[in-house]
């Protein structure tokens, strides 16, 4: 049984195949209108969402399938204390595939250990958002015609920005990628991503203080929101929230074919005068999210038919290390629910929590 919990769960060839399927869907909508007839998608959203939940819903409807689920955990038995593991065991009886968003990091990985149907991580805390990455990759492919030889500037909240973490992991597997990081000191990219993803894959990566100084060399400017919901200290959020703002004036220095991406929602970080610039691709990016999720649902259901779930739950990856160490992150599922403590050993000899990637030993 294949799941999509992290972008590294699928190979570059599989990513390219999903993008090719999305492009085929765009060209031949009628061909796919009944391919999921009789199938059901469960959307389990424990955290707010507009684009991800509704694009999954729209995607399944356009494939001829049906959708059930909740958009507010308070209306489900989660509010009575039901665990992620038990919730997905139950949903495995009602649906064929699950898209799960959770504010707690690692919740979708726990779900995958107990589910008899494919689990898609629709965003877990500050950790990962692999379907946004597929959306971003499809958008880059459609806008620029390639996924290699790109200089991409990531701007804003690179610490808590799960879309940034997932996209860097995915792009690091393509050729000729250059990464520029533009963030306040407090919101810098986690050092393990820089070291274990960028450096390990020989991706030239540098930090700069302003977007203006790199604007002329960028192929992509990936803007992100400073996320109020991730801050424990409201004063710190207020101080940092408007650190970087893109406006039409700053865009004058950019290449004519540069694109501006943003996973959305935006608040103040892109002013409205950018919206009508042809380089502003963020609303086209939203529509690509529906097409790529159609391709993903179709692909995962096909894989599930070829390789159904076997054996007892939990089904754990035997390459992971069991131990009784505590994960250092309070946002990790292993500190919220009774789950197997699992770690993976990095090339540097560090042990990272399998759920949230916090360094534990
Ligand atoms: N990009 C994204 O994940 O948006 P939502 O939070 O609205 O789903």
Cβ of residue 51 lying under 6 Å from some atom of ligand 1: yes
Q: What is the 3-state secondary structure (H, E, C) of 221-276?
A: EEECCCCHHHCCCHHHHHHHCCCCCECHHHHCCCCCCCEEECCCCCCCCECHHHCC
> Residue with structure tokens 């990081």?
181
Report the alpha-carbon distance of residue 133 to residue 284 in Å, rounded: 14
Q: Which of 192, 62, 53, 45 is nearest to 131 (CA)?
A: 53
Ligand 1: which of 224, 264, 293 to mutate, most ligand atoms within 8 Å of CB? 264
Q: What are the pLDDT digits (tens) for 124-145?
A: 999 999 999 999 999 999 999 9
CA of 253 to the centre of ligand 1 (A): 29
- Apex 12 CA angle, 7 and 14, nearest 5: 85
CA of 96 to the centre of ligand 1 (A): 23
Cβ of residue 52 lying under 6 Å from some atom of ligand 1: yes
Cβ of residue 167 lying under 6 Å from some atom of ligand 1: no
Q: Which of 105, 40, 45 is nearest to 73 (CA)?
A: 45
What is the average per-residue pLDDT within 178-199?
94
Report the alpha-carbon distance of residue 67 to residue 48 in Å, rounded: 18
Res 361 pLDDT > 80 = no
**Six-digit token string for 302:** 């096909």
Report the alpha-carbon distance of residue 179 to residue 171 in Å, rounded: 9
Res 231 pLDDT > 80 = no
What is the average per-residue pLDDT within 17-34?
98
What is the average per-residue pLDDT within 21-46?
98
SS3 115: coil
Res 334 pLDDT > 90 = yes
**Six-digit token string for 347:** 């090339």
For residues 131 and 4, the answer to whether their CB atoms sit within 8 Å is yes
Cis peptide before 265 (omega within 30 of 0): yes
């Amino acid at each position: 049984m294949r799941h999509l919990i992290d972008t590294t769960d699928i190979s570059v060839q599989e990513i390219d195949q999903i993008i090719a399927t999305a492009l085929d869907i765009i060209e031949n909508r009628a061909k796919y209108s009944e391919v999921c007839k009789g199938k059901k998608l469960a959307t389990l959203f424990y955290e707010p969402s507009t684009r991800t939940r509704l694009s999954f819903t729209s995607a399944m409807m356009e494939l001829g399938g049906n959708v059930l689920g909740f958009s507010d955990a308070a209306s489900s038995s989660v509010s009575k204390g039901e665990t992620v593991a038990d919730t997905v065991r139950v949903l495995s009886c009602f649906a064929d595939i699950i898209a799960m968003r959770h504010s707690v990091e690692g919740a979708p990985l726990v779900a995958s250990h107990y589910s008899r149907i494919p689990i898609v991580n629709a965003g877990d805390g500050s950790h990962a958002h692999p379907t946004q990455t597929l959306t971003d990759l499809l958008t880059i492919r459609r806008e620029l015609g390639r996924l290699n030889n790109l200089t991409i500037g990531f701007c804003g909240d690179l610490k808590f920005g799960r879309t940034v973490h997932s996209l860097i992991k995915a792009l690091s597997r393509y050729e000729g990628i250059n990464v520029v990081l533009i963030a306040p000191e407090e919101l810098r990219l986690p050092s393990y991503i820089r070291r274990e993803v960028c450096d390990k894959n020989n991706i030239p990566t540098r930090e700069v203080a302003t977007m203006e100084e790199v604007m002329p060399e960028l192929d992509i400017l990936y803007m992100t929101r400073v996320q109020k919901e991730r801050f424990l200290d409201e004063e710190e959020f207020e101080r940092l929230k408007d650190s970087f703002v893109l406006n039409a004036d700053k865009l004058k220095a950019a290449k004519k074919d540069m694109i501006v991406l943003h996973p959305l929602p935006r608040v103040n970080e892109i002013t409205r005068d950018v919206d009508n610039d042809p380089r502003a691709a963020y609303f086209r990016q939203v529509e690509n999210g529906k097409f790529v999720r159609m391709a993903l649902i179709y692909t995962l259901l096909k894989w599930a038919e070829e390789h159904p779930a076997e054996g007892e739950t939990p089904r754990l990856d035997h390459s992971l290390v069991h131990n009784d160490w505590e994960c250092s992150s309070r946002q990790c599922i292993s500190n919220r629910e009774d789950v197997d403590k699992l770690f993976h050993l990095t090339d540097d000899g560090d042990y990272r929590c399998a759920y949230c990637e916090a360094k534990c030993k």
